[in-house]
Amino acid sequence: MNKYKKFLMGFVYAGIGLVDGFSERNMKFHGMVTVFVLFFGWVFNLSANEWMIILILIGMVWSAELANSSIEALSNLVRDTEKFSYLATKKIRDLAAGSVLIVAIISVIIGLFIFMPKILVLLI
């Protein structure tokens, strides 16, 4: 395989990984929240800067969740191959899940800063 085809195949494999990530429950949740955020961003006519912030946050949450899913999959593989107990890989899973939680909480806080003034204008 020539180097250009190898390079392009990397995008194919990444796309497969992204699609596969959506088989995970938490990734489906993040996808659903993304649809709502994008819809309300459109409804509230976000500025270009607000859109950039929202898209960066979505990318961060999705990336953290995909990394968490890959760490969990690798932990399962090692645990099952080496016949470890669930507790042997618990800390690894918890650390990875904690990273997603941090990004998600910060995203919600920043999202509130962006959307709350627009919501309050409608209510007043």
* Tokens at 34, concatenated: 């993304």
Encode the chain (124 residues) as per-residue pLDDT tens digits.
688 999 999 999 999 999 999 999 999 999 999 999 999 999 999 999 999 999 999 999 999 999 999 999 999 999 999 999 989 999 999 999 999 999 999 999 999 999 999 999 988 8
- The model's pTM is 0.90
In CATH terms, is domain 3-123 a member of 1.10.287.3610?
yes
Q: How many CB atoms lie within 10 A of CB 58?
A: 18
CB 103 within 8 A of CB 71: no
Query: Where along the chain do its domains lie?
Result: 3-123
